Amino acid sequence: MSTVVIPYTPRPLWRDTIHPALTRYRFAVLVCHRRFGKTVGTVNEMLKKGDTQRAQGTCLCLRCAVPQSGQACGVGVSEILYESYPRAHGE
């Protein structure tokens, strides 16, 4: 299996508690203040799982729930494109 490298440095709480829990459990609910880094952390977690599954040759369906569809288009999609561009273009 190949190593997945993501150019992302998580905050200490994400690194020590949240990312390991998201790897261990199938579902998670995060209730955090507005500048906690929820979008960046969850997008990078989804990209990590997608890259890991692709390296293993399996398929993975990832979903994220947001209160309004405009929020997903305005924040989440732009974050996914920003974070995934280097991997998609071999940079």
Task: Please give the pLDDT value at position 71.
Answer: 64
The Cα–Cα gap between 91 and 88 comes to 8
The burial of 79, by beta-carbon neighbours within 10 Å (0-12 exposed, 13-18 middle, 19 or more buried), is given as: middle
Q: What is the pLDDT of residues 32-56, one digit of tens each?
A: 888 888 878 888 888 787 777 776 7
pTM for the full model?
0.64
Q: Which two tokens stand for residue 29?
A: 């609910």
- For residue 5, pLDDT over 80 is answered with no
pLDDT class of 89 with cuts at 50, 70, 90: low
- For residue 87, pLDDT over 80 is answered with no
